[in-house]
Structure 1
Amino acid sequence: MMVNMKTMLGIALAMGIAGHLQAQQRTAASGAQRPNIVLIYADDLGYGDVSCNGATKVRTPNIDRLAGQGIRFTNGHASSATCTPSRYSLLTGQYAWRKKGTGIAPGNASLIIDTAMNTLPRMLQRAGYATGAVGKWHLGIGDEKGPDWNGELRPGPLEIGFSYCWIMPATADRVPCVYVENSRVANLDPNDPIRVSYTAPVGNEPTGKKNPELLVMKSSNGHNNAIVNGIGRIGFMQGGAAALWKDDRIAATLTGKATDFIINHKNTPFFLYFATHDIHVPRVPGKEFEGKSGLGVRGDAILQLDWTVGQIMHTLDSLHIADNTVFIFTSDNGPVVDDGYQDQAVELLNGHTPSGKFRGGKYSNFDAGTRVPFVVRWPGNMKRGVSNALVSQVDFLGTFAALTGQTLQHEDAPDSFDMLPAFTGKDKKGRASVIEHAGALAIIHGNWKYIEPGNGARYDHSVNIELGNDPAPQLYDIAGDPAEKKNVAAQHPEVVKALAAELQALKDAGRSR
């Protein structure tokens, strides 16, 4: 564990510059290859929720098969411990904590991504790709006045580089419970307009708080406003009856739209961003998965998610395009078991450990907040196996820009590096450092993890998760202590000083390179 702390910051910055140069110097041959790109972005799936990462109480054979055909990363990270900021970082190549207004978005938020930014889909669109977004969005939609659910929903995914979208505007636990296709609510009857409020009830619709007898799934914390399909939601809604989704068919609907996009674009390079609803609350798996896991609806939702992965793999195989497709499977943040509904997910865990050997979960500064399942497959172009390289979802933009021969301007993707050598197994180290974002900021550099002091709560009893906030600095040797049980800040003040300086320098610079 002996390191030269005086040179740590310089090495980190030098590696960042080198990564940027690699992105600019990638050969034209790689750019000409233009493989398809499929990114399945699961929701609230923990590192320990898949059997290829050690889960024994639930089996994920399709995800395991994907991992066996590619690289399974044991040190792969979302940029944040919650959904909206992770999605923002993935699509923009910029850490979300650099921009105000990128916290968990309400269901009626305006689009939080600047339409002038060079996003991941826009960059690939310029490289000749068809670009599709299917599934959970939760990045806001509409202008500063907010979304017009009965009219054109612009700006939205199409204005940041997607050529097609079929999305859930926010999450399934927030209204409106409808799909949006391109720029309009799908299947909306103009004679039954939608009204949405996040401040007060609209119309005379019953609510979960006033009419709990109408609920088929009781609330454990919040989620007691509008009732849709017998489930209480966050926010109030009236109208749009013909456009409402059916919760037990969300996975089937989204998977169908994703496979349709692949089939419709099989003869041209395409990028599919497929953000699943599973395994976020409310968990209402389809009848074919109900009761099959033995772990309750959360376990059943994991089986349904694994089915989704299998369906996309089968589609690529049947079209004979799997070998020319980069397939990524990962999650937006770590796990949460009880996140607002009494669905017996806690009672039926049966020894299952969603975070694996790591500490914390969703919302947490500890590693389980951002260390997530992370698999990359590109047949014939990578070394199969397991990698401990430090990789982050924020690097997708820089990596695929390099792969497709696209030049990034100085202001583009300020925190995104070309990680293609790591993603293909040629580089076993990956990033020099990465910043994790929850209630505070943390930085991982080598075997060390430093969490900056914070005054937030140490524990969230509503979700039963350690948040990792502490008014004193925290330092962990995550190689020898992956569960972050022993804070060694007092024993290594020089490491604390160096990592605090590196974190501050990255914050002050406004970019990582």
Structure 2
Amino acid sequence: MIFGCKDKSEGNKSDAAPTIKDQQKPNIVFIYTDDLGYGDLSSYGATEVSTPAIDALADEGILFTNAYATAATCTPSRYSLLTGDYAWRKKGTEVARGDESLLIDTKRTTLPGVLKSAGYKTGVVGKWHLGLGDENGPDWNGKISPGPLEIGFDYSYLIPATGDRVPCVFVENHHVVNLDPNDPISVSYKEKIGNWPTGKENPELLTMKPSHGHNHTIVNGISRIGFMQGGKAALWDDETIPMELVDKSKKFINSSKEQPFFLFLSTHDIHVPRVANAMFQGKSGMGPRGDVILQLDWTVNEIVNTLKEQNLLDNTIIIFSSDNGPVIDDGYQDQARELLGNHKPTGGLRGGKYSAYDGGTKVPLIIRWPDGNRKGTVSRALVSQVDFLRTFAALAGVDKVYEDVIDSQNALDVLLGENTIGRTALIQESIRGPLSYIEGEWKYIEPIDGPKLVPWGPIIETGFQMEPQLFHLKNDPNEQENLASKFPYRVIDFKEKLTKLKKSGIAN
């Protein structure tokens, strides 16, 4: 891959970076997994589970040890990745309902839109959870619009929200897949509708029992969040969801190989309900959560093999990351905690999904470059997923100034391994809104009054404290010693910087 230099942007001083000539634009495959922790992969130190396909990406690319999702939950992380802005700047971007309206403004700049303008064919396959439809929400029995196609994707095949939320159907482009018009879908998140059994009323019908919540409509023996009736022919089979997503990804790759393409493959395996395919059931020794980690590794292997078979691997960038940190018990009795053994999903980091501590947002990030760039490198550069929009824009040779993209920076030199420092600072968002500010080796968590543990069941510290918290991450990566009282000037400095970022949007 040959890189040249060009920069006509005036909107971000770091936009001066390598780009590539049109005829050499690489394909981009972004595998974005759900609820995978910093310590869940053998390439990141896990010893109780093996992930050889993902490890191979690290062996052939760059493994980042200091990379962050923007939030400790999925909806805001995904919003930030696709828009280049922190989700807390937009009201209503907390964890979305299953029938939420589209959260991304169709008029704004997006990552797929940028790549599409550069001649890429763009596709999203898998978990969406960013809402669908207009202000009235999705019309499950008609044309579901706006959605991914209205924000820059050419093709979409979606789990509309999550596997534990109704409706349990796939949506391809603008319509529910396999929907029988004589059996229309009805959905409610407010009250029970229809006569389908629920986990609360009919626990004897369950093959997987809820541990908290998740006791509404039963689909495939699993009770979900929300009420649903109709669409029986369209219901997915939980055990074959990964195979369905891999199949649609392969078809997208095969149909797009005559031009540069961007595939956003958003896997669901680790998110509850964890239902491993028969190929993986019992194989990890750690119960369903361990089994679906093996299943995720299989997915990565299938995608890499497809690229090899189509002679595309040598011109494809593969990015692998997670949307937030891990959670063990998140609504179902699947023995994830009982069978955990010595495995540490956060890699020893404090907190987890939902948390203000690093266990909530510090995630795996692996990038395999097609030219073997920095093969086998481990980078400690500070990286935020909010930067992928401007980074991919630079990669594709797009030099337009995007005035509506506030927070994204061009980090191409960082992702190429040429810059080992990375960002000066970044912001993290935890459940219910409190923000953290990381600058260099230091982290500040703004004070908030709230529960010390996630209140609905998972045994995870929220990080909520009435006093400001300050940690030196290099010396104390597990955030055990609050240094706020010892370094009050840093607390004041970071509080002021965070306040300024909230108001001004200066992202340098």
Which TM-score bucket, shorter chain as reference? over 0.9
3-state SS in 2 of match to 1:41: strand
Corresponding residue number in structure 1 for 2:133: 142
> What CA distance in whole angstroms lies between the structure 2 residues aligned with 1:250 and 1:293?
19
Q: TM-score, normalised by structure 1?
A: 0.95
Which of the residues 414, 425, 437 maps onto 1:443? Answer: 437
Corresponding residue number in structure 1 for 2:153: 162
Corresponding residue number in structure 1 for 2:496: 501
3-state SS in 2 of match to 1:166: strand
Q: Does 1:237 align with 2:231?
A: no
Corresponding residue number in structure 2 for 1:36: 27
Corresponding residue number in structure 2 for 1:212: 203
> What CA distance in whole angstroms lies between the structure 2 residues aligned with 1:136 and 1:237?
19
Structure with greater proportional helix content: 1
Corresponding residue number in structure 1 for 2:464: 469
> What CA distance in whole angstroms lies between the structure 1 residues aligned with 2:127 and 2:104?
15
Which of the residues 62, 68, 78 maps onto 2:53? Answer: 62
> What CA distance in whole angstroms lies between the structure 2 residues aligned with 1:28 and 1:496?
39
> What CA distance in whole angstroms lies between the structure 1 residues aligned with 2:105 and 2:485?
42
Corresponding residue number in structure 1 for 2:289: 298
Q: Is the Cα–Cα contact under 8 Å of residues 322 and 365 in structure 2 kept in the other structure?
A: yes
Q: TM-score, normalised by structure 2?
A: 0.96
C-alpha distance after superposition, 1:394-428 (max 9, x if no partner): 11101011111113434232111111111010000
Give the aligned CA root-mean-square deviation in angstroms: 1.3
Q: Is the Cα–Cα contact under 8 Å of residues 11 and 403 in structure 2 kept in the other structure?
A: no
**Structure 1: stretches of 5+ with no match in the other structure:** 1-16
Corresponding residue number in structure 2 for 1:6: none
Percent of residue pairs identical: 57
Which of the residues 349, 369, 372 maps onto 2:363? Answer: 372
Q: Does 1:226 align with 2:220?
A: no
Q: Is the Cα–Cα contact under 8 Å of residues 188 and 240 in structure 1 kept in the other structure?
A: yes
Post-superposition offset of 1:204: 1.3
Compared CA separation, residues 495 and 362, structure 1 to 2 (3 A): same
Which of the residues 261, 266, 275 maps onto 2:257? Answer: 266
Post-superposition offset of 1:326: 1.1
Structure 1 residue identity aligned to 2:419: D
3-state SS in 2 of match to 1:132: strand
Q: Is the Cα–Cα contact under 8 Å of residues 60 and 372 in structure 2 kept in the other structure?
A: no
3-state SS in 2 of match to 1:37: strand
Compared CA separation, residues 30 and 391, structure 1 to 2 (3 A): farther
> What CA distance in whole angstroms lies between the structure 2 residues aligned with 1:464 and 1:188?
39
> What CA distance in whole angstroms lies between the structure 2 residues aligned with 1:32 and 1:84?
35
Q: Is the Cα–Cα contact under 8 Å of residues 54 and 356 in structure 1 kept in the other structure?
A: yes
> What CA distance in whole angstroms lies between the structure 2 residues aligned with 1:400 and 1:359?
32
Correspondences of 1:68-217 after superposition (within 5 Å)? 68-217=59-208
Q: Report the count of equivalent residues.
A: 496
Which of the residues 479, 484, 506 maps onto 2:479? Answer: 484
> What CA distance in whole angstroms lies between the structure 2 residues aligned with 1:250 and 1:456?
37
Post-superposition offset of 1:71: 0.4
C-alpha distance after superposition, 1:179-233 (max 9, x if no partner): 0000000110001100000111111111110000011000001000000000000
C-alpha distance after superposition, 1:279-313 (max 9, x if no partner): 10000010000000000000000000000011111
> What CA distance in whole angstroms lies between the structure 2 residues aligned with 1:408 and 1:442?
31
3-state SS in 1 of match to 2:39: helix
Which of the residues 434, 448, 456 maps onto 1:454? Answer: 448
Q: Is the Cα–Cα contact under 8 Å of residues 58 and 367 in structure 2 kept in the other structure?
A: yes
3-state SS in 2 of match to 1:274: strand
Q: Is the Cα–Cα contact under 8 Å of residues 30 and 403 in structure 1 kept in the other structure?
A: no
Structure 2 residue identity aligned to 1:309: V
> What CA distance in whole angstroms lies between the structure 1 residues aligned with 2:381 and 2:291?
31
> What CA distance in whole angstroms lies between the structure 2 residues aligned with 1:424 and 1:357?
28
> What CA distance in whole angstroms lies between the structure 1 residues aligned with 2:188 and 2:506?
37
Corresponding residue number in structure 2 for 1:413: 405
Corresponding residue number in structure 1 for 2:36: 45
> What CA distance in whole angstroms lies between the structure 2 residues aligned with 1:50 and 1:236?
35
Q: Does 1:426 align with 2:426?
A: no
Structure 1 residue identity aligned to 2:453: Y
Q: Is the Cα–Cα contact under 8 Å of residues 150 and 194 in structure 1 kept in the other structure?
A: yes
> What CA distance in whole angstroms lies between the structure 1 residues aligned with 2:266 and 2:405?
21
Larger mean CA deviation between 170-179 and 404-413 belongs to: 404-413
C-alpha distance after superposition, 1:136-156 (max 9, x if no partner): 000000000111100000000
3-state SS in 2 of match to 1:476: strand
> What CA distance in whole angstroms lies between the structure 1 residues aligned with 2:22 and 2:358?
35
3-state SS in 2 of match to 1:48: coil
3-state SS in 2 of match to 1:242: helix
3-state SS in 2 of match to 1:465: coil
C-alpha distance after superposition, 1:32-71 (max 9, x if no partner): 5311100000000000000000000000000000011100
Structure 1 residue identity aligned to 2:117: R
3-state SS in 1 of match to 2:198: coil
Correspondences of 1:302-451 after superposition (within 5 Å)? 302-380=293-371, 382-384=373-375, 385-439=377-431, 440-451=434-445
